[in-house]
Amino acid sequence: MDCAGRFGFGRRHRLIDKKDDFTIQNQATLLAAERETTGSMTLLIGSVAAISLLVGGIGILAVMIMSVRERTRKIGLRRALGALRRDILIQFLIESGMLAGFGGLLGIIIGLTLTEVVSAFDYWEAIISWPAVAVAFLFATGMGVVFGLYPAILAARLEPIQALRFE
C-alpha cells in the first residue's frame, strides 16, 4: 500500500488510482544524508589540503637543495672556520622552516582576505576558527622543516676542502 492509501492522503489529494504527488520524509533520514555529505566534503577538502602540502613540501625541498648547491663554497668556508655540522644543519632547518612559515602566513592572509571579501558580497557572516588557523600555520612550518631535513643533512655532510674546491 502506498502513502496515499496508508495515511488517507489519497482522498485529500484526489489520488485514487494515481501516483502520489507528495513525499513523506523522516528527519533521521535527512540527518543521515547530511552527515554523509559533510563527511564526503571533509574528505575531499582534506585530500586537496594534503596534496597541496605535499606539492609545497616538494617545492621547499627543491629550493633548499638549490640553495645548498649555490652556497657550497660558503658552507665549506664556514666549516673550515670551525662551524660544526650541527650548526650547518640547524641553519638550513631554520631557513626551510622560515620559508614554509612565510608561505603559511601568506596563505593565511590571502585566505582570511578572500573569506572577508566573499562574505561581504554575499552578506553572510564569516566565522574564523583561530585555533584552526594556528594549527594550520604550525603544520605548514613543520612540513617545511621536515622537507628541509634532507637538504640540511646534505649541507652538514659537506667536507670543507671538497666544498671549497666546488665550482
What does the pLDDT look like over 14-38, one tens digit per residue? 666 666 666 777 888 889 889 999 9
CA 116, 119, 123, 124 dihedral sign is: negative
Task: Using the predicted structure, report yes or no on whether residue 60 has a pLDDT greater than 90.
Answer: yes
Q: Which residue has the cell 649541507?
A: 155
Question: Do 140 and 104 contact (CB within 8 A), yes or no?
Answer: yes
| Cα-based distances in Å from 86 to 29, 89, 102, 126 | 60, 5, 24, 45
**Which residues, 6+ apart, have CB-to-CB distance to 88 below 8 Å?**
75, 78, 79, 152, 155, 156, 158
- For residues 25 and 148, the model is more confident at 148
Task: Using the predicted structure, report yes or no on whether residue 98 has a pLDDT greater than 90.
Answer: yes
